[in-house]
Structure 1
């Protein structure tokens, strides 16, 4: 595709105002007139300056699986309560339960450090497509192709990370149409400043999750620190708050229906570029298996947690994650059926095929690539059950997961750094050890045994040609409950994997040293690790095939579209544009775009998940609204909807107005919109945001957080900053 044609496409308006997770570079190629008409009051180059490789978008940080944003020049970052949950849990105990009661640091000295918590501030984006493609030898098979691409990516990252406190990655767009080197500054000292009580941060719990109307205060404030000279440094009492060049002032006026908003962040993964048959397998097998396996795990964790208060705290983080994935899978299935997304993708594919066939030889490669991708998909489907269960083993029982991780680490460290799996390279070792240490807080042996028992039972039920040999060897091929129970008890009784000091020693040992320990749980982990390594190689070959084939097909799709197409989400910085508006979920029902404190009180039952904290409830019932009342609602707004295009990873994303002021924090999507990972539907595409005025009401009227409000330029004596910095 010629560059001029690409630019002509990009300067056109998108099909739907809210559709598209645009890269910083693409924002500059969108029509400035269109952006202004939508409501952007800033020049687009203030969002991103290509000469400097930075801009207001760089006020948005990656917190590791979530997004966040600077809200002060002194390193304050706002994100979701559930994104800061790890730090909250780390400092919680039955005697000091911050999960339930919340936390507010009245001074920087009281802020709580997060073990292993980091934030990444974007610095530059560089197109490295030519270098990646040139690294693939002529005639390379698919596995060799994957290894060549993988090695070149590692080399580029290694060169990029020669500077201190730098975190880089090579991001793939449209299956390999483009490769971009992403350069970020990594801040290693992150501390908790404010977290509301769980009954605010999770009000409505799983019952309201992925739903509307919501009354959830899903926000927390953390702070990034550096060494006194401004360089990134691990936690130290001598560290000072990070000086943020770009940040989003808090808007005291909030939003109203029809207002323009932008959602900035690091959306994780979407699947709009998949072929219809690939989508169909996710609908028919992938999501049903997630619901089945995780549904059982959730039940086991909840049952065991109820038996022990300390155990309940230990499993809280894992349980929260599993609930979210489980309900997401349910929403994906419901949304795919409701929106007929597979059928629509099949029709769209047919349109591209017909168009390409008329183009003659020019698009022959694209059509052949599509056929070959379908063949690859059919081959992978044959071992789906085993591959899925083996892949899930690492996110269920933590004992075997830790043993397997230690074994993989030992196996990979025997190789040169550039030949290892990316997640086991030297650059990852600090994270690995942080994770091994942090896992101690999440260990609850009774629950862990129950999860392992469920996994073994499922593995023993696999067909003869899909067996997991590690399970067969250590537990036998046929399920006998008392035998499996006895063998699991023996594994846990004889292991030192679950002892923190020993586990950290194991992280530095060779395979021979691990073997010499004769640790039964470690031996099971080593066996699993070997099978996972073999599965990884199979997936690498498939990925090599995809990187060879998908770009040709995607080039045809983009050429036929003749309009801007934002690439699938891949955990890189994006911005989505939208309007504050409600929607119609079904015939005869209309959802308004805002909720209020009064609505929160109406939901209150005094029992979880609708048990508002007494102080919050008393303040709301007394109508102590302060300056945070919305003049039209005559109430304090809690949450609002917009039609911005979001997905997982956008949790904690700043929602800002046309002037660059923060008006909310994204934390969810509505149930009808969960499946927008596979296609944007403007009728139901709504993301859920907590209104900044609800945060300010809690800080002001409920907590009287004087020092924090002054730092945010909200309390009298410090004027509110109105311009984006």
Structure 2
């Protein structure tokens, strides 16, 4: 399955350099390529290729029915009384937090038989995009120090923070300025937030992740990777004007479909040198990290059944990320990938050099190449110890310091417009487990020592003559930061409370905080220089290829389109759809392999099921991680499916799209409804869908 943006963020934030710039206009030269802005839909393209013209009402209704999960992923409203559909794997973070030793919601699923049994998520925030406003001129006008990258970045960020605060104060909506087309455009996105989100239904993991790691990123598939929440307002189910009606018609080959979701990050503007850096340096580095964490969590889960439950969701995310990054690296290691990119890059350079106006911009390609060398030199400098307790402590130290600055000078995540979302995370009542926190923190301290060396000043200060295991054990045993009330008290007390705290985790965060800021300054400077270089390349691309296209993904709402279509693999045709009968056959063919055992609820219901019901399908829609949970709709805007994966050939889509074999994998809407009604014996829930 496309790994959640939350996991993507977890992985990328470990490293000193984070790729957050948007892209210039990729040329949609491959069939149904494209992740389009809702305020710049490809109406002419759709009319020419598919004889379809989206109306303003069609687009607005789909926009207001689409949902972003702050835990990473997408979803949609599917009833007037607040039902939200997403993937089980998007919901699994919340399922884990709602589970107890006696109630394993991840493995066993859940069904609320009445509204009183719907379980409130401890820290889940859902965002619905209400409005997009072009603020490009205002942001660009604020930058006067063009020759000084650091000064220019501060001016730009100050302008963005001011725009966001003004918007939040004016509307009460979450307000984010989004960088598009390498800085060629800046759009203000206003979101309505829902923070009272309750679990209604989730299937068992055996149904949602049927086939396990062996089938992950493969096809054919037979998964019910779906979960339903409900949003509440004023302690009552939200009454929604915009939601998706539910189609009861199965899809067939060549049907036109649309995907409305929040793709995480793409890198399709990247130069050859940037892709070579990914191939040779960064992706191998990430994979080493993921493999290390995978082994760590596997060992932890062997300690007991309860440890297995506690570590399950995090291990699942790590394994999913490892497989995804392995596929990305394999794509970059194919010489044809780089050759294709080099050919386009050479054509762009030649076109620019032939123009007196554009020729000076060609130096941007060399600048990006130089930046890759600098990134490699700083890659191992991260001091972000990836454990929940330390992350809470460091975030509180940073927040209380940033609060002392003018809003326009703060880190973006600590500005006033972002504060409520940050507080939701920092005050979450979700359970933390000392044994798991101890294992994770000890490994992070050991990794810090490996990367910086035992004689490093910061390492010596952290260890103070002890081993990483001893340090972690003492910190976890003595800290109170795991108590949300303690975190709230520290935040309310401000920086003076942090300075006066004798909590050892807070004290560790204070030791690391100056180095963290130094590393981040380097990161931000590299990011700014690279962003501006790509803005120059964006001008070249626009001049050479026109302005039609779409920006790289930014975990904001996009529309993709495609058709239901099979493909050929190993010389054999792969049919575009599967059905319930195929799930039982697939299970029988793998008898004795635990990942292919259907849950007992499916076996009990087999005789009552219509086994010809469509279960999964593939399409040519252009999707990546973050699209997990995205609704798939038909020409009428009715829900026909739910994105949950891409096949193995789609894993190059971060930087290169092709429809030859790359496919988006979805759960069919008719399959979801059949399962809810007959397997999970919830006809009243099924009756609410689309109404």
CA contact (8 A) 2:646 2:664 kept: yes
Q: Distance in 1 between matches of 2:284 and 2:308?
A: 27
- Alpha-carbon distance, 1:550 to partner: 1.8
CA contact (8 A) 2:327 2:648 kept: yes
CA contact (8 A) 2:381 2:519 kept: no
- Alpha-carbon distance, 1:210 to partner: 1.8
Deviation track 1:88-124 (CA, whole Å, cap 9, x = no partner) reads: 2232212222222211222323222212222222221
Equivalent of 2:636 in 624, 642, 659:
659
CA contact (8 A) 1:205 1:609 kept: yes
- Alpha-carbon distance, 1:563 to partner: 6.9
Deviation track 1:202-248 (CA, whole Å, cap 9, x = no partner) reads: 22222322222221111111122223xxxxxxxx3xx24232x3322
Equivalent of 1:612 in 578, 598, 603:
598
User: Do residues 645 (structure 1) and 629 (structure 2) align?
Assistant: no
Matches within 5 A, 1:281-430: 281-338=277-334, 340-359=336-355, 361-387=356-382, 390=383, 393-394=384-385, 396-430=386-420
For residue 96 of structure 1, give the secondary structure of its aligned residue in structure 2.
coil
For residue 264 of structure 2, give the secondary structure of its aligned residue in structure 1.
coil
Q: Distance in 2 between matches of 1:327 and 1:597?
A: 27
CA contact (8 A) 1:92 1:98 kept: yes
CA contact (8 A) 2:247 2:640 kept: yes
2:586 aligns with 603
1:15 aligns with 29
CA contact (8 A) 1:625 1:697 kept: yes
Deviation track 1:298-317 (CA, whole Å, cap 9, x = no partner) reads: 22122212323333333333
User: Do residues 456 (structure 1) and 442 (structure 2) align?
Assistant: no
- Alpha-carbon distance, 1:405 to partner: 2.0
For residue 461 of structure 1, give the secondary structure of its aligned residue in structure 2.
helix
**Change in 2 beyond 3 A, CA 1:507/1:610:** farther
- Alpha-carbon distance, 1:165 to partner: 4.3
CA contact (8 A) 2:27 2:545 kept: no
1:230 aligns with none
Q: Which moved more, 1:551-560 or 1:378-387?
A: 378-387
User: Do residues 712 (structure 1) and 689 (structure 2) align?
Assistant: yes
CA contact (8 A) 1:175 1:546 kept: no
For residue 322 of structure 2, give the secondary structure of its aligned residue in structure 1.
helix
1:26 aligns with 40
User: Do residues 556 (structure 1) and 540 (structure 2) align?
Assistant: yes
**Change in 2 beyond 3 A, CA 1:311/1:515:** farther
1:59 aligns with 65
CA contact (8 A) 1:217 1:638 kept: yes
Q: Distance in 1 between matches of 2:96 and 2:534?
A: 42
**Change in 2 beyond 3 A, CA 1:647/1:667:** same
CA contact (8 A) 2:275 2:332 kept: no
Normalization by structure 2: what TM-score? 0.90
- Alpha-carbon distance, 1:275 to partner: 1.1
Q: Distance in 1 between matches of 2:189 and 2:509?
A: 34
- Alpha-carbon distance, 1:647 to partner: 0.7
**Change in 2 beyond 3 A, CA 1:467/1:357:** farther
CA contact (8 A) 2:174 2:417 kept: no
- Alpha-carbon distance, 1:14 to partner: 4.6
Stretches of structure 1 that go unaligned for 5 or more consecutive residues are: 1-9, 49-53, 228-235, 630-634, 714-720
1:202 aligns with 209
Q: Distance in 1 between matches of 2:349 and 2:49?
A: 33
CA contact (8 A) 1:386 1:468 kept: no
**Change in 2 beyond 3 A, CA 1:601/1:181:** same
For residue 649 of structure 1, give the secondary structure of its aligned residue in structure 2.
coil
CA contact (8 A) 1:93 1:310 kept: no
For residue 573 of structure 2, give the secondary structure of its aligned residue in structure 1.
strand
CA contact (8 A) 1:27 1:44 kept: no
Q: Distance in 2 between matches of 1:470 and 1:505?
A: 28
Q: Distance in 1 between matches of 2:455 and 2:345?
A: 36
1:717 aligns with none
1:703 aligns with 680
For residue 72 of structure 1, give the secondary structure of its aligned residue in structure 2.
coil
1:91 aligns with 98
CA contact (8 A) 1:215 1:599 kept: yes
Stretches of structure 2 that go unaligned for 5 or more consecutive residues are: 1-24
1:192 aligns with 199
CA contact (8 A) 2:174 2:418 kept: no
Equivalent of 2:562 in 560, 566, 578:
578
1:231 aligns with none
**Change in 2 beyond 3 A, CA 1:670/1:500:** same
**Change in 2 beyond 3 A, CA 1:362/1:701:** same
CA contact (8 A) 1:142 1:542 kept: no
For residue 87 of structure 1, give the secondary structure of its aligned residue in structure 2.
helix
- Alpha-carbon distance, 1:29 to partner: 4.7
Q: Which moved more, 1:174-183 or 1:202-211?
A: 202-211
Q: Which moved more, 1:403-412 or 1:509-518?
A: 509-518
1:431 aligns with 421
Q: Distance in 2 between matches of 1:556 and 1:421?
A: 31
- Alpha-carbon distance, 1:467 to partner: 8.2
2:463 aligns with 475
Q: Distance in 2 between matches of 1:216 and 1:490?
A: 44
Q: Distance in 1 between matches of 2:455 and 2:253?
A: 55
For residue 206 of structure 1, give the secondary structure of its aligned residue in structure 2.
helix
Q: Distance in 2 between matches of 1:196 and 1:219?
A: 7
2:249 aligns with 253
2:21 aligns with none
User: How many residues are treated as equivalent by the alignment?
Assistant: 663
1:6 aligns with none
Q: Distance in 1 between matches of 2:123 and 2:417?
A: 14
Q: Distance in 1 between matches of 2:352 and 2:416?
A: 46
Q: Distance in 2 between matches of 1:28 and 1:672?
A: 25
Deviation track 1:637-665 (CA, whole Å, cap 9, x = no partner) reads: 22111110001110110111112111110
Matches within 5 A, 1:123-162: 123-139=130-146, 141-162=148-169
For residue 179 of structure 2, give the secondary structure of its aligned residue in structure 1.
strand
Q: Distance in 1 between matches of 2:491 and 2:76?
A: 34
Normalization by structure 1: what TM-score? 0.86
**Change in 2 beyond 3 A, CA 1:424/1:316:** farther
For residue 462 of structure 1, give the secondary structure of its aligned residue in structure 2.
helix
2:509 aligns with 525
With a CA cutoff of 8 Å and minimum separation of 6, indicate the structure with the bigger relative contact order.
Answer: 2
Q: Distance in 1 between matches of 2:103 and 2:135?
A: 50
Q: Distance in 2 between matches of 1:156 and 1:429?
A: 15
- Alpha-carbon distance, 1:370 to partner: 2.3
Deviation track 1:451-477 (CA, whole Å, cap 9, x = no partner) reads: 33333333323366x98643232126x
For residue 492 of structure 2, give the secondary structure of its aligned residue in structure 1.
coil
Q: Distance in 2 between matches of 1:514 and 1:308?
A: 37
